Amino acid sequence: MSASHAPPPPAGYEPGKLDGSIRKYLAVCERTIRHAESLGTQVSAYLKRLAGAPAGNDGAMADANQATILLERLTKAGLNMVKATDELTRLRSFLAGGPDSRPDLTIRGEIELRGIILAAVRDMGWSIMDAKGKPIEIEAA
């Protein structure tokens, strides 16, 4: 193979072409972090009001509910950013010739794959139902 005929990039996509998208994504992450800081300030204000509220205050329950909603949004935003950043960096690495870092499930047997799925379902707090709507209790391998 001559130097003028370089092999095609993995997945047929030049890794450098992804760099502009990564920069745009990181800019979105920066805006999301600023938004998260704003949500954190709001949660802090609710918590301060809750701490100073007298027992039996009806407004305290509303503040507690609102603080919970804001904390859930903050957590989801953070998790989504981490997951997306991880996927993007894995893709960039793969396109640059690095190994595929996803686990190879082709070498797993059926029972082991079922165990992986069941463990993930349990970790998410879900359950698997049969056709009649009854939860299926199967231990992961």
Q: What values do phi and psi take at 4, rounded to 5? A: -80, -10
Residues 23 and 79 in one domain: yes
pLDDT at 10: 57
Helix (H, G, I), strand (E, B) or coil at 135: strand
pLDDT at 36: 81
* Residue 4 maps to a domain: no
CA dihedral 40, 42, 45, 50 (to 10 degrees): -100
* Residue 117 maps to a domain: yes
Residues 56 and 38 in one domain: yes
**Share above pLDDT 70 across residues of the chain, in percent, rounded to a whole number:** 82
* Residue 76 maps to a domain: yes
Residues 121 and 72 in one domain: no
Question: Domain tally for the chain?
Answer: 2
Across residues 31-38, what is the average pLDDT? Answer: 82
Residues 91 and 119 in one domain: no
pLDDT in tens, 42-53: 888 878 877 777
Q: Structural domain of residue 42, as residue ranges?
A: 10-101
Q: What is the DSSP string of 30-59?
A: HHHHHHHHHHHHHHHHHHHHHHHSPTT-HH
Confidence of residue 141 (pLDDT cuts 50, 70, 90): very low
pLDDT in tens, 57-107: 777 777 778 888 888 888 888 887 887 778 777 777 777 777 776 667 777
pLDDT at 9: 60
Instruction: For the full predicted model, state whether its pTM sits above 0.95.
Output: no
DSSP state of 5: S
